[in-house]
Amino acid sequence: MKIMVVEDDAALREIYSIRITAEGYEVVTAGDGEEALAVAVREKPDLILADVMMPKISGFDMLDILRNTPETAGIKIIMMTALSGDEQRARGESLGCDRYLVKSQVGIEDVVNTIHEVLGDKAVPQSAPASSGQSAPVPSQPAPVPPVQPAPAPASEPQPASQLAPAPRPSTPTPQPQSAPAPSQPASAPAPAPAQPAQPLPPQQVNYGQPVGPAQ
């Protein structure tokens, strides 16, 4: 669809154009009411978003001309103005505008939503995934839960060979016959000296009547 933005403020006209283009619309612009009439006849837009207070031809006069021209009588028109009085609103509605918005009361997203509403289309959120039109069947019974398998035991660290192999059992030594020790030779004792014959004591003379004493 094609939308014409009519705004004498170039910066504001650019902002509206970029935002409306992001919605997927084709946008044409005009800087005043006189230019807007020529563009509307040439481009035949589906909707006109127009300011009220413009040079050369005001928005109300432009709206009146468009509604009385057969080539443009069916174009949807949204009027935007800083005038919030009931008299101006009533004038715009009597001239045949589809919506009358006060700039101080709406933001750019409100303007975009109003465009979708007047055109009867529906904005598709960019973050929403495209739907195939078929909903997933709802299972009548819950899916069986697979049994929980026990986690495998962690591999044990390799043991050294000295711990894996069984320790050898000590063998009982076989007693060996021992030879009888050789009889030790007695130490040779010195031969006893031959016994000396006892020497006979010399006979003592006994003197009777005299004391016995050693011989003088």
Q: Are 123 and 23 in contact (CB under 8 A)?
A: yes
Residue 62 lies in a domain: yes
CATH number for the domain that contains residue 63: 3.40.50.2300
Q: How confident is the model at residue 94 (pLDDT cuts 50, 70, 90)?
A: confident
DSSP count for the chain of H helices, then E strands: 6, 5
Residue 46 lies in a domain: yes
The number of domains in the chain is: 1
CA distance linking residue 120 with residue 40, whole number of Å = 21
Residue 138 lies in a domain: no
Q: Are 3 and 46 in contact (CB under 8 A)?
A: yes
User: What is the mean pLDDT of the segment spanning 124-143?
Assistant: 42
Residue 168 lies in a domain: no
Mean pLDDT across the chain: 73
* 88, pLDDT greater than 70: yes
Range of the domain at 37: 2-119
Residue 197 lies in a domain: no
Residue range 136-168, pLDDT digits in tens: 444 444 455 555 555 555 555 555 444 444 555
* 27, pLDDT greater than 60: yes
* 113, pLDDT greater than 60: yes
